[in-house]
Every structure is written in C-alpha cells, then in structure tokens.
C-alpha cells in the first residue's frame, strides 16, 4: 500500500482512457488512522474542485467564443456581416482602392474577414500593372480559404480606356455554393469605345437557384460625367438582353440619377446609405457620398445594405483610426442577399 498524501491522491482518482467524456472516481482511504482518512477526503475534494473549475472556465471560454461568432453573424446591415435570411446567397461588391502590392498581409487578412460571409464577391480597382493586382487577388483568395471555405477567383485583363484610368476587375466565389466556368469571364467589348473601363461580366450558377450574370462596373470620376457611361451601359445590347442579373460597382453617381436609368431595362437599385469615406471625422460622421450600388433583375432580394468595416474594426472612429481604415479602401462594401 502507498502511504501518506500521495497514496490518497493516487488511490482516489482514475481516468477512463477509453471514454474521454467519463470520469471514474475511487475512494479507498487508508484505514490505519483517522488522520489519513481525513487527508484522503481533503485530497479528493481538492481534485473535484480543480475539475469543476477547469470545466467551468472552458465552458465560459466556449460561451465567449460563441458570443463573438454571434456578434459577427448577427450584426445589422451597417455593421459587421450581412444578416442571415431566408435568401441563401450573399453578393458583395467592393471598390478596394488600388488593390495591389501596397496592401499588407494584415490588411488582406482583414479584407478577407469582411468578405468571408459572401458567396460571390466583385472587386473593382484592382491594380493593372505588372500583375501586382492579380497577385493580391490570389493572396485574398488564400486568406478567404483560411476562414473556413474553399474559394476560387478570376481576374480580368486590363481595361482598355482612352485615358490613363486602366485597371482590372476580379470575382471571387465559394466553390461549394457556386459553379463557374472562368473561361466565360470577359470584359464587355461592346462598351470599349464608349466608357473608360468596360464592365467585367461572368455567369454564375448557384447550387440551388437559376443562373445569373454579374456585371462589375467602375465608371469615371464625378468630374468626367459618369452619367454618360451609365447611359451607355444601359443601352448595351449584351446588358439589355440578360434575363437574370446583377450590375454592381462604383458608379460615381447618386441613386437619384442612376436608378431611373437602370429602371428602363428592368433593374432595381438596393443601396440607399452613403458608401464613400471622408478623409476626416466631421459633424455628420465619416461617410460621404452614396456612389456604390447593387442593381438586380429577376432576383428575389431579401436584404441589402452597406458593410461598415470602419465602425466594426476601427472603433472608436477618430481621424487617426479613419486614416488607418482608409488603407483598406475609401469605399465601404455593399451587399444583397438573394435567391
């Protein structure tokens, strides 16, 4: 027989290695003296207290983890991720300013966190020079893959504008929710002569829904009359011919001017909140204009809105934290959930 406290501890506790969810407690207190019996009882109680406290801490950690996940998944349309609805698919469009080699790995990881809840992502303003933009999109796809789902992507050729505004577009999508033939991705050549950056088109096949075309758009700045490019866009034969589609991007045009043009060909706009960021925090906050939008045709849209990554990840929002947020982009992502 083992003696003393060691004997009491070793003889009173055993762990069933064949079933990790089951503990077997033995109490075989020495009988020589009442003192040893008391020591054995104290040791047993101490072990049980350690076990209970350990599981309590783990349970609290589990609850905290679930709480954090719920905060991310139940944020309103203006903060965090798009809300869960009866529509199974989420589309996000984001002008990620000058998306290329200047984006750090940390910034790309945060961008992936913002986009992880989407099924389809359209990115505007991908840097065209020397494949830097395409390489950054590849990094983003890898970062999205680390969020828990397999992603794929395609990057456009450089646009062929009559001015110096050349850039690329990109699409990213979840493989388990979308089927895509990347060879069908193309810049809309019909518009090459009439816009600075011709839109990027691709057909998506959702697993549980009808196929839809997506057109990603980035018009010229306000000073260059973007309304003329939107008029050319809604007049294009390829755009007018689609039956089920999304047209999304940075239109540099208010919805008051853009909505009636898209309505002519059966598209409905869904974004009403401001989407561009100020350079400082003013009396009316840090948002500026509503230039980004998502227009849909023949889709059931459940929810739509703006994802405020600034308020979510850079709070409290000061001039300094806003400058840091603008390293990601000077635009907020916009989304719709659809079926």
If you ran DSSP here, which 8-state letter would residue 276 be given? B
DSSP 3-state of 123: strand
pLDDT tens for 243-275 read 999 999 999 999 999 999 999 999 999 999 999
Q: In residues, how long is the chain? A: 339
Q: Which residue has the tokens 């939008």?
A: 293
> Which pLDDT does position 34 carry in this prediction?
61
pLDDT tens for 132-189 read 999 999 999 999 999 999 999 999 999 986 566 899 999 999 999 999 999 999 999 9
Q: Cα–Cα distances in Å, from 111 out to 12, 39, 227, 240, 262?
A: 53, 58, 30, 33, 30
Best CA proximity match to 174, nearest among 146, 195, 144: 144
CA atoms within 13 A on the CB side of 114: 33
Confidence class of residue 38 from pLDDT cuts 50, 70 and 90? Answer: low
Strand ranges, E, within 116-244: 120-126, 151-155, 168-174, 178-180, 186-187, 200-206, 212-218
Q: Which of 2-16, 37-51, 101-115, 184-198 is predicted with the least confidence, judged by mean pLDDT?
A: 2-16
Sign of CA dihedral 313, 316, 317, 323: negative
Tell me the two tokens of residue 102.
């200047």
Contact 324, 287 (CB under 8 A): no
Confidence class of residue 97 from pLDDT cuts 50, 70 and 90? Answer: very high
Task: Report whether pLDDT(47) > 70.
Answer: no
Q: Average pLDDT in the 22-33 region?
A: 42
Neighbour tally for 60: CB within 10 Å: 10
Q: Per-residue b/e over 254-290, b at no fewer than 16 CB within 10 Å?
A: ebeebeebbeebebebbbeebbbbbeebeeeebbbeb
Where does the chain have alpha helices with state H? 4-12, 34-74, 105-115, 132-145, 226-235, 237-241, 255-263, 309-313, 319-325
Average model confidence (pLDDT) for the chain?
84
Task: Report whether pLDDT(83) > 60.
Answer: yes
> Of residues 29 and 198, which shows the higher confidence score?
198
């Amino acid at each position: 027989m083992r003696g003393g406290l060691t004997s009491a501890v070793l003889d009173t506790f055993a762990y069933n290695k064949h079933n990790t969810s089951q503990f077997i407690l033995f109490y075989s207190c020495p009988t020589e003296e009442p003192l040893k019996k008391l020591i054995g009882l104290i040791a047993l109680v101490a072990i049980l207290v350690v076990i209970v406290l350990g599981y309590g801490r783990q349970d609290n950690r589990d609850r905290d983890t679930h709480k954090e996940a719920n905060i991310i998944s139940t944020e309103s349309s203006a903060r965090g991720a798009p809300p869960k609805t009866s529509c199974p698919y989420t589309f996000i469009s984001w002008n990620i300013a000058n998306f290329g080699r200047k984006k750090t790995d940390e910034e790309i990881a945060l961008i992936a966190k913002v986009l992880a809840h989407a099924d389809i992502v359209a990115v505007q303003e991908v840097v065209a020079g020397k494949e830097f933009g395409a390489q950054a999109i590849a990094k983003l796809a890898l970062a999205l893959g680390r969020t828990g789902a397999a992603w794929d992507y395609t990057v456009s050729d450089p646009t062929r504008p009559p001015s110096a505004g050349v850039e690329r577009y990109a699409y990213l999508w979840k493989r388990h929710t979308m089927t895509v033939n990347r060879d069908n991705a193309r810049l809309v050549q019909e518009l090459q002569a009439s816009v600075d950056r011709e839109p990027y088109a691709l057909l998506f096949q959702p697993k549980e829904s009808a196929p839809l075309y997506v057109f990603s758009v980035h018009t010229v700045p306000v000073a260059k009359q973007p309304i003329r490019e939107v008029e050319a866009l809604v007049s294009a034969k390829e755009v007018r011919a689609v039956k089920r589609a999304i047209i999304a991007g940075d239109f540099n045009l208010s919805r008051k001017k853009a909505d009636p043009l898209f309505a002519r060909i059966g598209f409905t706009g869904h974004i009403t909140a401001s989407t561009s960021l100020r350079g400082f925090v003013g009396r009316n906050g840090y948002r500026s204009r509503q230039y980004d939008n998502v227009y849909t045709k023949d889709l059931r849209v459940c929810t739509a809105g703006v994802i405020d990554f600034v308020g979510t990840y850079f709070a409290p929002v000061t001039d300094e934290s806003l400058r840091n947020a603008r390293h990601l982009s000077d635009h907020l992502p916009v989304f719709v959930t659809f079926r």
